[in-house]
Structure 1
Amino acid sequence: MSKVKYYYDPDTLSYRKIEPKKSKRYRNLFFFLLGSALFGFIGLLVLLNTDILNTPRELSLAREVENYELQFDILNKKMENMEQVLANIEDRDNNIYRLYFEANPIPEEQRRAGFGGINRYKSLEGFNNSKIITDATKRLDIIQKQMVIQSKSLDEIAILAAEKEKFLEAIPAIQPVRNEDLKRMASGFGWRTDPFTKARKMHKGMDFTAPRGTPIYASGNGVVTRADSNSSGYGKHIRIDHGHGYLSLYAHMSKYNVSKGQKVKRGDLIGFVGSTGRSEAPHLHYEVWKDKEKINPINFYYGSLSPIEFENMLKYANQENQSLD
């Protein structure tokens, strides 16, 4: 209750009550209401930023939002780990696996490409956290695409590895006569003296001297295309097609152990040393052909000779002596 104020009136020699002006009363009321409103607004802000006025449902939703934020952080870390692992696999794929199997590397722009055309993320727009959700979804889609590309690449590598294994098994890679069965390596690939005409001519194979009946082995996987004596000078001989443009020939044999059309594997017994055809003494004349051209067989013994044995063979093969056919 407001205090009543008085003043002394000298004319009446009495105290009179002071009556406040209406304008002042209205002004005081205005300031009171303004102060109340400001105080109420500040109080409301304080209350809205505390849990005092939240209902149990609002409190539960707030906890869910906090949990979603935590799960989103965990998802981001998982995506970062996945991207690091994928980057490591892609690096090895391009620079080791595909390089080894002579396959073209996959371009970086193909691995990292996004998705063009229609806006596939339109349904995620219009929310409070639309950008965060859209970015995370795009990131996951790109990771998924990278995984699909990498999976297909590894499938291709597996096929190339199987083909490479077949290729390595097929090409002539061992000496057709065992070292312990040899008397000596008589003549190598190159210019040699003909045993019959004594003229110098090109000897397009290697001669291995061994007793008659010494086993001869296939130098690689393949199919026997000939086992006959119908080729001039070779006598009884065998030809094996190894695929990939490779063919091996075994001449002057005494006996066959395979027949035309038969599949053989490296190391299979295919026949025996003899001296049939144009031959001066029992030996095996061995040739390797690549794309119908005769090449030096000495480059294809990595599967059966030690470095010392290969060095000795190389020394004898380079001597310009007389061939045996």
Structure 2
Amino acid sequence: MSKKKTKYVFDQKSLSFKIKHTTLNEKIKTVSFSAGFGLVMAVVFIVVIYFFIDSPKEKILKRQVQNYERQYDVLNKEIENLSEILHVIESRDKDVYRVIFEAEPSEINYDKLTNKNSLILSSELNTSNLIINTSKKVDQIAKRLYLQSKSFDEVFPIAKSKKERMTCMPAILPISHKASNLVSGFGSRFHPILQIRRMHTGIDFSAKTGTPVYATADGVVSDPNGSGTGYGICILINHGFGFETLYAHLSKMKVRSGQKVKRGDVIGFVGNTGLTQAPHLHYEVRKNGSAVNPVYYFFNDLSIEEYEKVIEKSKEDNQSLS
């Protein structure tokens, strides 16, 4: 066994070394210092471990969080892509309504539609902005999808009547292209008889008296003689689906009120009756009671080149014949 070390101190009075005896207080101080220092080092070590060094479980959780963040970014991009695709579908749906079926698309308030599940999710997870924002985006897309499905439900019955609708839509020239000339278009024009500039609600075709006039769509003659309107001898045909056509300044009619006609039937002949300057046909197309430009309803009769010429001619700012 090792011997206990003996400590000596130099005594300045006797000028000799003497054995140092440790008192109880000194022993207590030494032990207390050692214990305090050890405690401080232990606390520092624990703090370093706790705040700066991850445990295996924390490392696993951090990797999971990073993975969730990446998945969230991917999900968010997919939601944005779906929203863009849905926007394209909505735009095409409106085009189908307005252009093909000539109907107004559905207008439903998004705010009145609620998704109960998403509202519960948002209230329970009000501390997580990522989940709340994603939930709102998904909820918005769900509402738009619901509206789109309702819109398609309305399109189907309209589509079933498409064939009948197309036969009732004005689609040909009311007079032979070779036997006539478009001399005045739709819009503000100078009236040759009244000597004023006013809205010209149709288009004028100059032609010889007696040139045949054709029904531009299937329908029923509802007013074969619009007397007192300045139209002279005229024919008004109700085609259904909101469409009406008017043929004015005729020399003679070949139909009577209530008679059903088919597209291409001869209904009368060009003349010079009413407030007119020369023999011609004044032709109007009305949609839901309002006059619209007839040149947009010649798509069955003309080639692309011929149609472009008609469009350009109708835009000329000139004098009408009636």
TM-score calculated relative to the size of structure 1: 0.51
Distance change (3 Å), C-alpha of 1:131 and 1:216: same
- Please give the residue correspondences for 1:283-322 in structure 2 after superposition, counting only pairs within 5 Å: 288=284, 300-301=294-295, 303=298, 306-307=309-310, 310=313, 318=321
Tell me which residue corresponds to 2:46: 44
Partner of 1:122: 123
1:180 corresponds in structure 2 to 178
| Offset, 1:33 | 1.2
Q: Which whole-Å deviations, capped at 9, do the CAs of 1:33-68 have from their partners, x for residues lacking one?
A: 1211222233334444435x63xx665444323322
Which amino acid in structure 1 is aligned with residue 219 of structure 2? V
Aligned to 2:208: 209
Of 125, 129, 132, the match for 2:129:
132
Match of 1:195 in 2: none
Q: C-alpha separation between the residues in 2 aligned to 1:115 and 1:43?
A: 52
Are 1:246 and 2:244 matched, yes or no?
Answer: yes
Choose the corresponding residue for 1:6, options 2, 8, 14.
8
Match of 1:197 in 2: none
Change (3 A) 1:25 1:81: farther
Aligned residues: 270
Q: Which residue of 1 aligns with 2:262?
A: 264
SS at match of 1:121: helix
- Give the corresponding residue for 1:65: 65
**Whole-angstrom distance in 2 between the partners of 1:272 and 1:106:** 43
Return the alpha-carbon distance in structure 2 between the equivalents of residues 42 and 206 of structure 1: 101
Report the Cα offset of residue 222 of structure 1: 4.2
Pick closer, same or farther for the CA change 1:15–1:261 going to 2, 3 Å. Answer: same
Question: Does structure 1 conserve the Cα–Cα contact (< 8 Å) formed by 2:219 and 2:237?
Answer: yes
Mapped to 2, the partners of 1:11 and 1:301 lie a distance apart of 133
1:32 corresponds in structure 2 to 34
Aligned counterparts of 2:32 and 2:60: Cα–Cα separation in 1? 42
Q: 2-side partners of 1:7 and 1:316: how far apart?
A: 133
Question: Is 2:216 the counterpart of 1:225?
Answer: no
Determine if contact 2:122/2:132 at 8 Å carries over to the other structure: no
Q: CA deviation at 1:21?
A: 1.8
Residue in structure 2 matched with residue 322 of structure 1 by the alignment: none
Structure 1 or 2, whichever has the larger Rg, is: 1
Residue 31 to residue 178, structure 1, CA distance change in 2 (3 Å)? same
Give the SS at the match of 1:176. Answer: coil
Q: Secondary structure at the match of 1:246?
A: strand
TM-score normalised by structure 2 residue count: 0.51
SS of residue paired to 1:180? coil
8 Å Cα contact 2:222-2:238 kept in structure 1: no
Structure 2 unaligned segments of length 5 or more: list them. 184-190, 195-203
Task: Report the alpha carbon displacement of residue 132 of structure 1 after superposing the two structures with TM.
Answer: 3.4
Cα root mean square deviation, aligned = 6.4
Q: Percent identity?
A: 18
User: Letter of the aligned partner of 2:244 in structure 1?
Assistant: Y
Q: Relative to 1, partners in 2 of residues 1:88 and 1:45: Cα closer, same or farther, differing over 3 Å? A: same
Render the CA deviation track for 1:72-97: whole Å, top value 9, x for unaligned. Answer: 343345456667x489869979xx99
Partner of 1:209: helix, strand, or coil? coil
Deviation at 1:218, TM superposition (A): 1.2
2:30 match: secondary structure: helix
Counterpart for residue 198 of structure 1? none
Flag the 1:315–1:167 CA change in 2: closer, same or farther, 3 A: farther
User: How far has the Cα of 1:24 moved from its partner?
Assistant: 1.8
8 Å CA contact 1:218–1:270 kept in 2: the answer is yes
In 1, distance between residues paired with 2:182 and 2:129? 79
Q: Which amino acid aligns with 1:318?
A: L
Distance 1:35 1:91 in 2: 74
Report matched runs for 1:68-147 at 5 Å: 68-79=68-79, 85=84, 120-124=121-125, 130-141=127-138, 143-144=140-141, 147=144
Q: How does 1:145-184 map to 2 (within 5 A)?
A: 147-148=144-145, 151=148, 175-181=173-179
Q: Is residue 173–residue 301 contact of structure 1 (8 Å, CA) maintained in 2?
A: no
Instruction: Using the TM superposition, give the Cα deviation of residue 246 of structure 1 relative to its aligned residue in structure 2, in angstroms.
Output: 3.0
